[in-house]
């Protein structure tokens, strides 16, 4: 018996993911919400799970004066509050030594020169090998200034054998024109393969599992088309209101905030063809074809196929909450939508005549994101013949919470009579794998350190998604004949008009 023939038990089940490399991570907007709530807690969890490359330095870049120690203390407090796992002092202490603060205005050339010197020094003392990851967590108006200054300081180019990459947070523009402009600005300094446009929904465990479900199993793909599928629903519901983000949200609204990016990305994963291989571009080539196949609405169709709503006062879990227009920083006559429902058509062979209903809203009764695939009913012969209408088979992919997949089907109720009822086959991540999924940002930061752009949006995907959303925004912006903005009480499932959208087709929204 030779060793060669034996599978190595240590390698069994290991993935073939690229290896994250030592690097310096510069976070622009280090004193902001995202850094506190998501980025630094994610980096800590990567370290706590032993997944961090051997040398990583994190440099917070922001305007306010602060020492390294003050920054470390502030990040420690935030991480204790927002981390997925309880913070262990011995791990935090080691991790915190690799946190630094760099004070500079975003537009100050000298600040970038000093940053370059600091990074060179860190390469020597920490072993970050000249690799740099620039994370744009600042507000989008600052992106252009930061990019130009990075270029000016030569930081967009890495030394031989090293790399420089940018991660750009959303919103990536506010329409096609501004997204194209931003893309041109980015590409004047960083090439497409240095550019990582983040969409944190793609980092969610179950979003990644959509491709596994579809292409690692032989039983679903033959059914995944217009012959067997009646329709698809994608829902992203939140109990939260606008919180303290009115400054951004008033100009964005639910369509730009959630549909243009997160929900269209989920739709791509559900709708795409099998890629030729698992490389980032093969997968993204297939996804962009889905976005290109989205039927563009004619102006009058926006009225009939899209419903926009805004929450009025109501109650969430029995607690009264104010109307959107009464929230801090919101205009008392605001026309911003906090809810949107769409009937989408994909013009390609696989999905012809399969409506895709998408809805997203704030201040709904429950938080949850899911995709449900509703199959056509069995023919009305045999068990189906009687007047009793059977439910459809429904495959539900729960993105969050309680990540998992369930399949609804018909079964005979035990007993001497022949009664048939719907039952559910259920797979829960938590119970099957017995461990918590990492946060989306953990996965995405590691991928960027490894140079794997699969879970990041490519330029053409983002631009095509804007082209689709722009037709709706333009119709909404019409002064005289704009489709109406419906209202719904906080704590309800959205405006009645959204129910009518499906009722017209003889369907209804799935209850979450
Ligand atoms: C963000 C939106 O991108 O996603 C927020 O700007 C939204 O409005 C959030 O609340 C939802 O993400 P998650 O991961 O909390 O479901």
Mutate to test the pocket of ligand 1, among 34, 239, 250, 258 (most ligand atoms within 8 A of CB): 258
User: What is the spatial distance between Cα 243 and Cα 170, in angstroms, rounded to a whole number?
Assistant: 18
CA of 508 to the centre of ligand 1 (A): 25
Residue ranges with strand state E in 159-225: 164-168, 195-197
User: What is the spatial distance between Cα 281 and Cα 265, in angstroms, rounded to a whole number?
Assistant: 15
Give Rg (Cα) of the chain: 25
Question: Quick check: 9 pLDDT over 70?
Answer: no
Spatial contact of 318 and 223, defined as CB atoms under 8 Å apart: no
Pocket, ligand 1, Cβ cutoff 6 A: 200, 238, 257
Question: Quick check: 188 pLDDT over 70?
Answer: yes
Closest CA to 364 of 220, 234, 488, 254: 488
pLDDT at 247: 92
Strand, helix or coil at 346? strand
Mutate to test the pocket of ligand 1, among 200, 252, 398 (most ligand atoms within 8 A of CB): 200
Query: Between these two residues, 438 and 176, which has the higher pLDDT value?
Result: 176
CA of 264 to the centre of ligand 1 (A): 14
CA of 389 to the centre of ligand 1 (A): 38
- Taking the CA of residue 252 as reference, the ligand 1 atom at the shortest distance is 6
Question: Quick check: 287 pLDDT over 60?
Answer: yes
The residue contributing the CA closest to ligand 1 atom 9 is 258
The catalytic residue positions are 262
CA of 71 to the centre of ligand 1 (A): 26
Question: Quick check: 348 pLDDT over 80?
Answer: yes
CA of 258 to the centre of ligand 1 (A): 7
Do the bridges between strand 339-344 and strand 356-361 make them parallel or antiparallel, or are there none, so unpaired? Answer: antiparallel
The residue contributing the CA closest to ligand 1 atom 15 is 238
User: What is the spatial distance between Cα 64 and Cα 30, in angstroms, rounded to a whole number?
Assistant: 10
- Taking the CA of residue 440 as reference, the ligand 1 atom at the shortest distance is 14
User: What is the spatial distance between Cα 509 and Cα 512, in angstroms, rounded to a whole number?
Assistant: 9
- Taking the CA of residue 201 as reference, the ligand 1 atom at the shortest distance is 14
The full DSSP string for 434-483 is -SPPPPHHHHHHHHHHHT--TTSB-HHHHHHHHHHHHHHHHHHH-TTTPP
User: What is the spatial distance between Cα 443 and Cα 202, in angstroms, rounded to a whole number?
Assistant: 9
User: What is the spatial distance between Cα 419 and Cα 402, in angstroms, rounded to a whole number?
Assistant: 31
The residue contributing the CA closest to ligand 1 atom 2 is 257
**Of 145-159, 451-465, 473-487, where does mean pLDDT reach its minimum?**
473-487
Distance spanning both ends of the chain, measured CA to CA: 55
CA of 256 to the centre of ligand 1 (A): 12
The residue contributing the CA closest to ligand 1 atom 7 is 258
Would you place residue 240 in the very low, low, confident or very high pLDDT band (cuts 50, 70, 90)? very high
Q: For the chain, what is the mean pLDDT?
A: 93
pLDDT at 437: 83
In this prediction, residues 20-47 reach a mean pLDDT of 96
- Taking the CA of residue 262 as reference, the ligand 1 atom at the shortest distance is 3
CA of 239 to the centre of ligand 1 (A): 11
Beta-carbon contacts of residue 386 (< 8 Å; ≥ 6 apart): none
pLDDT at 12: 46
In this prediction, residues 8-31 reach a mean pLDDT of 76
User: What is the spatial distance between Cα 457 and Cα 281, in angstroms, rounded to a whole number?
Assistant: 10
pTM of the predicted model, to two decimals? Answer: 0.93
- For 76-119, write each residue's pLDDT tens digit: 999 999 999 999 999 999 999 999 999 999 999 999 999 999 99
The residue contributing the CA closest to ligand 1 atom 13 is 201
Mutate to test the pocket of ligand 1, among 249, 253, 262, 444 (most ligand atoms within 8 A of CB): 262
Beta-carbon contacts of residue 487 (< 8 Å; ≥ 6 apart): 309, 310, 311, 312, 495
Question: Quick check: 193 pLDDT over 70?
Answer: yes
Task: Give the whole-number percent of the chain exceeding pLDDT 90.
Answer: 84
- Taking the CA of residue 400 as reference, the ligand 1 atom at the shortest distance is 16
Query: Between these two residues, 375 and 18, which has the higher pLDDT value?
Result: 375
Please tell me what DSSP assigns to residue 193.
G
Spatial contact of 150 and 144, defined as CB atoms under 8 Å apart: no
- For 353-404, write each residue's pLDDT tens digit: 999 999 999 999 999 999 999 999 888 777 766 656 678 899 999 999 989 9
Inter-CA distances, 131 with 119, 329, 451, Å: 9, 41, 11
User: What is the spatial distance between Cα 285 and Cα 331, in angstroms, rounded to a whole number?
Assistant: 41
H or E stretch at 315: strand 314-316
Spatial contact of 345 and 267, defined as CB atoms under 8 Å apart: no
- Taking the CA of residue 240 as reference, the ligand 1 atom at the shortest distance is 10
Question: Quick check: 309 pLDDT over 50?
Answer: yes
In this prediction, residues 189-208 reach a mean pLDDT of 94
- For 319-337, write each residue's pLDDT tens digit: 999 999 999 999 999 999 9
Inter-CA distances, 222 with 215, 218, 229, 272, 375, Å: 11, 8, 11, 14, 12
Beta-carbon contacts of residue 220 (< 8 Å; ≥ 6 apart): 213, 214, 395
pLDDT at 16: 59
Mutate to test the pocket of ligand 1, among 238, 239, 444, 512 (most ligand atoms within 8 A of CB): 238
Inter-CA distances, 450 with 21, 47, 122, 199, 209, Å: 6, 15, 20, 17, 20
Burial class (CB in 10 A: 0-12, 13-18, 19+), 114: middle
Would you place residue 15 in the very low, low, confident or very high pLDDT band (cuts 50, 70, 90)? low
């Amino acid at each position: 018996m030779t060793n060669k023939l034996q599978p190595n038990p240590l390698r069994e089940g290991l993935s073939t993911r690229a290896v994250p490399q030592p690097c310096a991570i510069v976070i622009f907007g280090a004193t902001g919400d995202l850094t506190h709530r998501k980025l630094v807690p994610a980096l800590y969890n990567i370290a706590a799970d032993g997944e961090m490359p051997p040398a990583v330095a994190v440099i917070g870049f922001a305007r306010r004066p602060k020492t390294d120690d003050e920054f470390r203390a502030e990040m420690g407090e935030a991480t204790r509050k927002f981390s997925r796992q309880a913070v262990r002092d011995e791990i935090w202490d080691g991790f915190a030594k690799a946190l630094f603060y760099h004070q500079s205005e975003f537009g100050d050339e000298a600040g970038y020169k000093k940053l370059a010197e600091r990074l060179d020094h860190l390469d020597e003392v920490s072993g970050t090998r000249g690799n740099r990851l620039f994370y744009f967590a600042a507000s989008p108006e600052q992106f252009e200034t930061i990019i130009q200054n990075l270029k000016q300081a030569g930081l967009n180019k890495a030394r031989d054998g090293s790399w420089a990459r940018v991660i750009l947070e959303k919103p990536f523009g506010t329409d096609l024109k501004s997204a194209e402009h931003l893309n041109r600005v980015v590409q004047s300094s960083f090439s497409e393969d240095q550019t990582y446009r983040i969409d944190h929904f793609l980092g969610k465990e179950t979003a990644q599992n959509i491709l596994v479900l579809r292409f690692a199993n032989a039983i679903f793909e033959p059914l995944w088309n217009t012959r067997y599928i009646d329709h698809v629903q994608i829902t992203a519901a939140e109990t939260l209101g606008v919180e303290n983000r009115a400054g951004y949200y008033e100009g964005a609204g639910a369509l730009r905030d959630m549909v243009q990016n997160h929900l269209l990305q989920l739709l791509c994963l559900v709708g795409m063809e099998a890629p030729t291989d698992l490389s980032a571009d093969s997968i993204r080539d297939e996804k962009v074809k889905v976005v290109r196949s989205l039927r563009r609405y004619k102006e009058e169709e926006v009225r009939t196929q899209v419903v926009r709503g805004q929450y009025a006062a109501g109650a969430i879990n029995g607690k009264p909450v104010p109307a959107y227009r009464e929230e801090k920083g919101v205009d008392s006559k605001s026309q911003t939508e906090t809810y949107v429902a769409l009937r989408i058509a994909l013009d390609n062979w696989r999905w012809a005549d399969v409506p895709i209903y998408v809805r997203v809203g704030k201040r709904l009764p429950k938080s949850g994101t899911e995709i449900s695939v509703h199959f056509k009913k069995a023919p009305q012969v045999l068990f189906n013949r009687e007047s009793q209408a059977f439910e459809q088979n429904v495959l539900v992919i729960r993105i969050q919470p309680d990540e998992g997949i369930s399949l609804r089907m018909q079964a005979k109720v035990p007993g001497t009579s022949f009664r048939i009822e719907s039952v559910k086959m259920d797979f829960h991540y938590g119970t099957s794998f017995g461990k918590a999924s990492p946060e989306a940002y953990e996965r995405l930061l590691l991928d960027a350190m490894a140079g794997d752009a699969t879970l990041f949006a490519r330029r053409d995907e983002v631009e095509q998604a804007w082209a689709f959303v722009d037709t709706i925004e333009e119709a909404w912006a019409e002064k005289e004949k704009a489709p109406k903005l419906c209202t719904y009480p906080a704590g309800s499932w959205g405006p009645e008009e959204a129910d009518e959208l499906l009722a017209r087709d003889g369907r209804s929204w799935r209850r979450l």
